[in-house]
Amino acid sequence: MKRLFLFSLFAIMMSTVAWAQRDVTGVVLDARDNSPLSGVSVFVKGTRTGTTTDRDGRFRITAQENAVLVFSFTGFTDKEVAADAANLSVTLSLSQTALEEVVVTGYTTQNKKQYTGSVTKITGSEVNLQPIASFEQLLQGKSPGLLVQSQSGQPGSAASVTIRGKGSVLGGTQPLYIVDGIQVTAADFQSINPGDIESYNILKDAVTTSQYGSRGANGVIVVTTKRGRNAKTVFNYDYQYGVQQLPKSKLRLMNSKEKLDYELYYDRPDGLNPFGHSAADVDSFSNINADWEDAIFRHAKTQQHILSASGGNEKTRFFISGSIFNQDGLVRTTKLSRYTGRVNLDHTAGNFKIGISTTVGYSTLTGTSENDNVISTPLNAYRWTLPYITPYLEDGSFNLTDPGGNPNPLPDLFLNTNKNYQLKGIGSINLEYRIPTVKGLAVRTQWGIDFTDDQSENYIDINTQANTVVPGLSGAFIQASSRRSRYTGTTSVNYEKRSGDHNFGIGLFHEIVRRRTVTNGYSGFGLIGPIKNAAGVTPGTPTNNFIPRVNGGNTEDAILSYFAIANYDFQNKYFVNLTGRRDGSSRLAEGKKFVNYGGVGIGWAISSEEFMRNQKFFNNLKLKASYGSAGNASIGDSYEALEQFGPTSYNGIGGLALANLKKDQLSWETRTTANVGLEFTVLNNRLNGSVEAYRAITKGLYLNRLLSSTNGVGSILTNLGKLQNQGIEVALDYDLVKTRDLTVNVNGNWTGNKSKILQLDGNNEIVSGISINRVGQLANSVYVVRYAGVDPDTGEALYFKADGKTITNEYDPNDAVIVGSFDPKGFGGFGFTVNYRNFEVSTLFTYQYGFQIYNQARVDVENPQYYTSNLNVSILREWQHPGDITDIPSSFNDFHDGTTRFLEKGDFLRFRNIMVSYTFPKSLINRWKMGNLRLFAQGQNLYTWHNFQGYDPEVFTGVLTGAVYPALKTITIGASIGL
């Protein structure tokens, strides 16, 4: 009876609870225009019960009568509403942070309206779905002042990145990369998953880059990864599958008939038939047109899987992800495989916060050489092969019977191996304690490590052309390893205070960065059998000359820094930012180890002034200016300032010889930048943009001063020159259409930069091949002899003398003049995004103009001395008879490169990306018990408008060699699923 009573009492209680719960429905609107907000998180306060709004902003949730609902949406202020009605109408307002945007400088997080520095923020969602392995290439065309140039289409290859021009001649020009507060190296990006990245912040002027002292002169890219939120756990799965193909080259080589005509029938004073072809040979060969390009290249697939989970509560939040990325290279046998994992945790306990960020990546890369100086390199050799010689014999073996002696590149491609294995780890722990007795005072510390273990293996088969480069090699196995670790520890005391119209903040920092690199290398010769490792190497003896080579080293250096960052604003209208840093480096000589840097920025929110209150055109108008300095430590090794000795030998006896002179006065290059800018938002927040002008002068430019041979070395690195970059940046973003069902946004950016040499040591110019740096001229200028065409009477090539008026048939390298620059005058990107109901189409175009490319590939295939190899079809236009009018001289006259004949305009417009996607409606997703479902298709590098004779005009060095791995044209499909 007692049990029956208890059971009845429990049933009554449960029915009371059930009666107290009910469904609450409603709609969430944007307070600005009462448009519905989709994707808003709605949950019952104090519970894990939650849902999200659909496309029309509507929601349904079960809650008790006295419950409180919490509405949360990125960029809007959270709102709590009592669930006291069955149907609610809730409006959310933009948060102050969203209205003014937050930028991350690495050491601080700043309100963009109050910040006077030049920073561009790019969200990860804008770029992370592009089918690219290395994340810096995702930024191409997205930020003014940021020039990203692809160095190679090879899987995992890094790009050349410069911010506001190249600030050095001999030193590094790449920006500093910071991931979650830890410095990383651009070469390691192949092991980092771009899908983990929340945002990229591009720091460009001195008030931002001076925070990084001797490392900040080339600009800084600050990367923040995704973190958990106070919401229910969400699982996401992203999948992509794509196919890559070779773009069409505008450099056309001869087909079989054209090549045979050239060999046999063109006017030849010596009557030469170089290969002794008979009439029957010609008939037979004319029907063969071997596709060597198809033998080297292929349609390659790419696949990516990303699985992540994120969520948390008021105290603890987490983000966990794992990814698999596989990319077959466009060149056969090349491939990249990458596996990554990440765990980010945040926990708050009263005044104490702790954050942990960890990521591990492992990648394997099978590549191929891009060395233009070695004919056996597959990317070089396939252009030399004769079109009437097939890659394979009928039995499937390699065809090695080229009558011109041109090597078949396929054995080198398939039998030799070039592999790299990389293990990458980045980890950090952040601690923060807010002093309860002093409001606004906090102590923070972060300690982290960037660790990279690189292993490479090269195998040179005895039956390949590469084996013949070094006589008596008999095959080789080469192994190298590099283990790099960089430790960073940063501790700071931060204080913020608001008093009436005054808002003040300051941070005092101490930082130490320590780097250690250990390298080892081994080369063995005389391969035995099919074993492709050290076990298959012949033991070396004095008689067989197969003595293995072993090398290695261990370098260490450190930076000790003290710096301060301060900000002040008055009435949220007048702003000041200050930075001061003192860096000490173990790499500099005694008495020169510490260098000071600093920056100041001021800003004026004109739109907040009283006289602007009644106008309706400007929603925001801010004028800003900054000035300061940062250093460039990217030169030499850890012991550049010390006297060094290296191994040498004389008459078979080993010893040591002076390799590096002591440099008591060597310091870092210093880049001083002045910047002014105007930021504006108009037309009811529909059009926003910025215009900035800058001038950056690099002082103490690294140059090699020539020395007398009696010093034991030919030159010494010295701070001698001065270089200036100045330019203008423009960025615009316009909501062209904004209705409930349709939005259309267009955006674009443009940068014009001019780099000029102001000072050099002694001589006013430094010539390096076909480039020159001369005082008063553009840096990295093109320096060649001007080609004047062909003499119609003799067929000889004609050249302009240095005076630009006299024409001669005598080639003289002393007639070289400056005819342009290898660096673009302008670059940028533009695109549009269209959203109609659940469909979205977005595009990106990138462009560069005002630069020259020296086409070394044309030099190789237009040189008649190489008539036993294939040639450019343009050679068929060569001069043959007196009176011929043509631009190609006779094959029987002297050939000279280093002229404008092979100089081409590099201007291009690239259709960089288009994405078409469909997001399934919330009503359908809820029925399937899913969080979201999005399907998409995209094209990458679909077409490039250019007049360059080659695959791709985006050549970061300005000189196109013949062995460049071309850019990829990629089509992908994919899906994003949330649970």
**Matching residue, tokens 């005002």:** 850
Quickly count: other Cβ atoms within 10 Å of residue 756's Cβ.
18
188 lies in a domain? Answer: yes
For residues 89 and 56, give the distance between their C-alpha atoms in angstroms, rounded to a whole number. Answer: 12
Least confident of 253-267, 428-442, 476-490, 525-539: 525-539
Sign of the Cα pseudo-torsion (808, 814, 815, 820, in order)? positive
Residues 46 and 85 in one domain: yes
Residue 711: per-residue pLDDT: 77
**Which amino acid is located at 432 in the chain?**
E
Residues 116 and 57 in one domain: no
Residues 105 and 195 in one domain: yes
pLDDT tens column, 277-329 = 888 888 889 999 999 989 999 999 999 999 999 999 889 999 999 999 999 99
For residues 234 and 312, give the distance between their C-alpha atoms in angstroms, rounded to a whole number. Answer: 10
153 lies in a domain? Answer: yes
Residues 87 and 116 in one domain: no
Residues 134 and 213 in one domain: yes
Give the pLDDT band (50/70/90) at residue 374.
low
Does pLDDT of 5 surpass 70?
no
Instruction: Say what percent of the chain tops pLDDT 70.
Output: 94
Least confident of 405-414, 523-532, 960-969: 960-969
With a CB cutoff of 8 Å and minimum separation 6, the contacts of 65 are 20, 21, 22, 83, 84
Q: What angle in degrees, to the nearest 10, is found between the helix axes of 279-286 and 256-264?
A: 160
Instruction: Say what percent of the chain tops pLDDT 90.
Output: 59
Does pLDDT of 457 surpass 90?
yes
Residues 51 and 116 in one domain: no
pLDDT tens column, 138-164 = 899 999 999 998 877 788 787 889 999
Q: CA distances (Å), 704 to each of 168, 286, 636, in order?
A: 13, 55, 12
* Backbone region of residue 700 per phi and psi (left: phi > 0; alpha: psi in -120 to 50; beta: other values): left
Last residue of a domain, one of 225, 245, 280: 225
**Which amino acid is located at 782 in the chain?**
V
Q: Which CATH number belongs to the domain containing residue 48 in this structure?
A: 2.60.40.1120
Does pLDDT of 14 surpass 50?
no
pLDDT tens column, 245-281 = 988 889 999 999 999 988 887 655 555 677 778 888 8
For residues 73 and 92, give the distance between their C-alpha atoms in angstroms, rounded to a whole number. Answer: 8
Residues 135 and 25 in one domain: no
Our count of domains for the chain comes to: 2
For residues 876 and 267, give the distance between their C-alpha atoms in angstroms, rounded to a whole number. Answer: 11
Residues 108 and 221 in one domain: yes
Model's pTM, two decimal places?
0.88
pLDDT tens column, 332-358 = 999 999 999 999 999 999 999 999 999
Does pLDDT of 852 surpass 70?
yes
What domain range is 110 assigned to? 99-225
Q: Which tops the pLDDT comparison, 954 or 807?
A: 807
Give the pLDDT band (50/70/90) at residue 491.
very high
Element (H, E) at 650: strand 644-650
Residue 473: per-residue pLDDT: 75
Does pLDDT of 1 surpass 70?
no
469 lies in a domain? Answer: no
Q: Which tops the pLDDT comparison, 407 or 847?
A: 847
166 lies in a domain? Answer: yes
Residues 221 and 143 in one domain: yes
Radius of gyration (C-alpha) of the chain in whole angstroms: 32
Q: Which CATH number belongs to the domain containing residue 158 in this structure?
A: 2.170.130.10
Does pLDDT of 362 surpass 70?
yes
For residues 196 and 161, give the distance between their C-alpha atoms in angstroms, rounded to a whole number. Answer: 21
Q: CA distances (Å), 1 to each of 4, 6, 11, 848, in order?
A: 5, 9, 15, 89
**Pairing mode, if any, of strands 787-790 and 41-44?**
unpaired
pLDDT tens column, 26-73 = 999 888 767 788 778 888 888 878 888 887 888 999 888 788 999 988
